[in-house]
């Protein structure tokens, strides 16, 4: 019996470090540099792997360092004042993402612009609940346009952020204080988006 315990102990001593070494070897490191069209770094940009938002943001130099075991197929960088840019990831330890300002709707507030007390809202969901009529936001943050019934059972509208169609994951990154306007489209108004606008459209523009 004692020999059995000794054997198990020895196996643990030799196998567990080996397993840890394998796991360390499987982990990959990636440096992501985010810049604008003028080749300037963008601090505070959100990074997404296959449309899944990562927890941190780019630093003041526009750099984001990530560790992962599952290789993403696509990497996105999003900044509310400019837009979003996606690239296909083909491996490598460093990538650069350029967010162009072609969809920038302007950063200057009009002379008659009035604050909407956006500071009281913790996130985009609170903002939609309290500030946008015609939109329902459920307890689990399901979003649908009020009075809209879907034939196929799905009621999730199309989200358009600064003229770009985005997933709800990207929508979550919008800071309420940066919102310039929200427009709800349904029926004929949403027809310009084709079948993508079948459940209605929520257009959000930021400063």
pLDDT for residue 151: 52
pLDDT for residue 52: 81
Task: Enter the pTM of the model.
Answer: 0.48
Token readout for 88 is: 């296909």
pLDDT for residue 54: 83
| Mean pLDDT, each 10-residue run in order, the chain (207 residues) | 48 46 68 93 87 83 93 87 85 91 38 43 82 84 77 80 92 87 89 90 91
Distance CA 207, CA 199 (A): 26
pLDDT for residue 15: 46
Sign of CA dihedral 196, 171, 121, 82: negative
Please choose, from the candidates 198, 117, 132, the residue with its C-alpha nearest in 3D space to the C-alpha of residue 171.
132
Question: For 112-123, what is each residue's pLDDT tens digit?
Answer: 333 335 555 778
**Which string of DSSP letters, residue by residue, matches 135-174?**
EEE-TT--EEETT---SSS--PPEEEETTEEE-HHHHTT-
Distance CA 115, CA 178 (A): 11
Please choose, from the candidates 184, 181, 183, the residue with its C-alpha nearest in 3D space to the C-alpha of residue 145.
184
Phi first, then psi, for residue 151 (nearest 5°) are: -75, -35
Q: CB under 8 Å to 126, separation ≥6 — which residues?
A: 176
Return the number of other C-beta atoms located less than 10 Å from residue 129's C-beta: 16
The dihedral region occupied by 181, where left means phi > 0, alpha psi between -120 and 50, and beta the remainder, is: beta
């Amino acid at each position: 019996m004692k020999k059995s315990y000794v054997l198990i102990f020895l196996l643990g001593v030799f196998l567990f470090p080996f397993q840890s070494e394998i796991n360390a070897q499987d982990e990959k490191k990636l440096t992501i540099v985010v810049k604008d069209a003028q080749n300037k770094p963008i601090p505070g940009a959100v990074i997404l792997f296959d449309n899944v938002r990562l927890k941190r943001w780019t630093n003041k130099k526009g750099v984001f360092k990530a560790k992962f075991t599952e290789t993403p197929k696509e990497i996105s960088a999003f900044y509310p004042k400019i837009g979003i840019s996606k690239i296909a990831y083909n491996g490598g330890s460093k990538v650069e993402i350029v967010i162009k300002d072609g969809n920038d709707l302007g950063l200057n507030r009009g002379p008659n612009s009035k604050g909407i007390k956006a500071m009281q809202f913790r996130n985009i969901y609170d903002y939609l609940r309290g500030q946008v009529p015609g939109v329902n936001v459920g307890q689990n943050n399901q979003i649908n346009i009020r009075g809209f019934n879907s034939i196929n059972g799905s009621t999730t509208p199309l989200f358009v952020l600064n003229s770009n169609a985005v997933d709800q994951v990207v929508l979550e990154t919008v800071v309420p204080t940066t919102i310039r306007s929200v427009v709800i489209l349904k029926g004929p108004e949403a027809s310009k988006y084709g079948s993508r606008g079948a459940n209605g459209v929520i257009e959000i523009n930021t400063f």
